[in-house]
């Protein structure tokens, strides 16, 4: 992981812990992926058996799909681990 990415995750963890004083807590992930069934399923699989509510919407031109994942996460560290896990999906953008 490069320095910029490491610094981003450090800031994210600090922000999550300042906003959420009690864990576990609900968290909303938002991603954009190229519209490809395998990529969409890869994101969905990452949250399998976690009780997540997943909403997908295709862009107007159909090239991209937005994925919102509403899930209860046990800690800021686990939120970051999940971001790192899905970051391996080609073309994914985390919002």
Residue 21's pLDDT is 81
Cβ proximity of 42 and 22 under 8 Å = no
Helix, strand, coil % in the chain, rounded to nearest 5: 40, 30, 30
> How far apart (Å, rounded) are the C-alpha atoms in residues 74 and 41?
23
Q: At residue 2, does pLDDT exceed 90?
A: no
Q: At residue 78, does pLDDT exceed 90?
A: yes
What is the separation of C-alpha 10 from the centre of its chain, rounded to a whole number of angstroms?
16
pLDDT in tens, 14-47: 999 998 888 999 999 999 999 999 999 999 999 9
pLDDT in tens, 50-74: 999 999 999 999 999 999 999 999 9
CA distance readout (Å), 36 to 22, 25, 30, 33, 90: 37, 31, 17, 8, 10
Q: At residue 1, does pLDDT exceed 80?
A: no
DSSP letter at 2 equals -
Q: At residue 92, does pLDDT exceed 80?
A: yes
């Amino acid at each position: 992981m490069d320095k910029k990415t490491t610094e981003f995750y450090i800031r994210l963890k600090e922000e999550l812990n300042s906003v959420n004083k009690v864990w576990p807590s609900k968290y909303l992930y938002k991603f954009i992926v190229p519209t490809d069934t395998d990529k969409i399923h890869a994101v969905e699989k990452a949250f399998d058996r976690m009780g997540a509510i997943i909403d997908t919407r295709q862009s107007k031109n159909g090239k991209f799909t937005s994925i919102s994942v509403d899930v209860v996460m046990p800690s800021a560290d686990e939120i970051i681990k999940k971001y790192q896990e899905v970051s391996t999906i080609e073309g994914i953008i985390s919002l």
